[in-house]
């Protein structure tokens, strides 16, 4: 008999979308989030919410004693590359030390399955494109290193405690809930599509483009964007995969299509029917020219097929969310 699912970081961007899908699949869900970057109202009714940190051993022990949890899904990492360079200790403390505390609690309470939100940042500067799971992993910033460290230690926890795992390596998570109930709410916002949308909507004076001299067709970075709903579907499939007794593993998640920054800006302009003012600034440190996924392993072993592979769908759903947030803000003001 399957147990309950603990979603850590379930009030954040991807975590809240995951909770929505789990509830739709009639899973019993417990959410733990300290609300440092998540939002309580993003956790939909039907999930049990507990405010707290996965660095709190007593809290974790009480949760595992109280609920019949068989799967833990981890969305509680800090994610800003630039911040990780400036504050590496903060990132290693949360992304590594707190995750180890969580795994130790799972070991104490014999929780068998762990689904980990990983990242393409573990690959560093790609040696070949598209990137498959066997590509050398040489992260170039503390954020990527923190995720890579967890991937490295998970086999030890499986050998010692029987915790099997699926590491899902996102390329560029994007978009919003197609139903319009949830979306991207980072503070500060650092992701390309919401920033471009806000520039198109007049919320920003201009969009800042970091570097137009890369070795790409139009000189701007090329990235593989994957819809947040498709990411959640992959996580759902990963749970089923582990519960069926399949082997632990890592899976790249992307559409296999690369779009440059200028192509994204053009798509945003087409969707919003607005011209975006752009300011070109120097490159940011550590931005590879091209990151595009080879996701054949996820297709083959998980049965994953992205539903929203068209970049215009991703941008349209994100735009609808931004419009809904603007309308809500105006209603509050008057």
Would you name the residues annotated as active-site residues? 143
Which residues, at least 6 apart from 331, have a Cβ–Cβ distance to it below 8 Å? none
Q: Nearest CA to 109 among 74, 158, 70?
A: 70
Cβ–Cβ contacts within 10 Å for residue 70, how many? Answer: 18
| Phi and psi torsions of 175, nearest 5° | 85, -170
- In whole angstroms, give the CA distance from residue 118 to residue 122: 8
Distance CA 257, CA 255 (A): 5
H or E stretch covering 199: helix 192-200
Dist CA 169 CA 96 (whole Å): 16
Give the span between the Cα atoms of 62 and 39, in whole angstroms.
23
Nearest to 88 by CA among 142, 36, 139, 140: 142
Q: Nearest-CA neighbor of 119 among 89, 95, 102, 83?
A: 95
Tokens 């592979």 -> residue:
309
């Amino acid at each position: 008999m399957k147990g309950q699912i603990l979603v850590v970081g379930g009030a954040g961007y991807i975590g809240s979308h995951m909770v929505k899908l789990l509830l739709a699949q009639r899973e019993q869900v417990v959410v733990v989030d300290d609300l440092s970057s998540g939002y309580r109202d993003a956790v939909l009714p039907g999930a049990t919410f507990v405010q707290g940190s996965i660095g709190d051993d007593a809290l974790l022990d009480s949760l595992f004693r109280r609920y019949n949890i068989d799967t833990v899904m981890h969305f509680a990492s800090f994610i800003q590359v630039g911040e990780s360079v400036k504050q590496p200790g903060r990132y290693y403390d949360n992304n590594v030390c707190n995750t180890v505390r969580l795994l130790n609690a799972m070991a104490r309470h014999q929780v068998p399955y762990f689904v980990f939100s990983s990242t393409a940042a573990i690959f560093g500067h790609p040696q070949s494109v598209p990137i498959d799971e066997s590509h050398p992993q040489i992260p170039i910033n503390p954020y990527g290193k923190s995720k890579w460290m967890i991937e490295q230690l998970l086999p030890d926890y499986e050998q010692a405690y029987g915790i099997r795992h699926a590491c899902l390596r996102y390329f560029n998570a994007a978009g919003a809930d197609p139903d319009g109930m949830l979306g991207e709410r980072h503070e500060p916002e650092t992701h390309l599509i919401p920033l471009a949308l806000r520039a198109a909507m007049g919320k920003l004076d201009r969009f800042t483009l970091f570097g137009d001299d890369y070795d790409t067709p139009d000189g701007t970075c090329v990235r593989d964007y994957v819809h947040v709903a498709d990411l959640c579907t992959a996580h759902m499939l990963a749970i089923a995969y582990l519960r069926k007794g399949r082997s632990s593993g890592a899976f790249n998640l992307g559409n296999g299509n690369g779009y440059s920054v200028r192509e994204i800006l053009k798509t945003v302009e087409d969707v919003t029917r607005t011209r975006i003012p752009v300011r070109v600034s120097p490159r940011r440190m550590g931005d590879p020219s091209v990151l595009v996924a080879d996701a054949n392993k996820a297709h083959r072993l998980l049965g994953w097929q992205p539903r929203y592979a068209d970049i215009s769908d991703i941008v349209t759903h994100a735009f609808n969310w931004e419009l809904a947030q603007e309308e809500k803000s105006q209603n509050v003001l008057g």
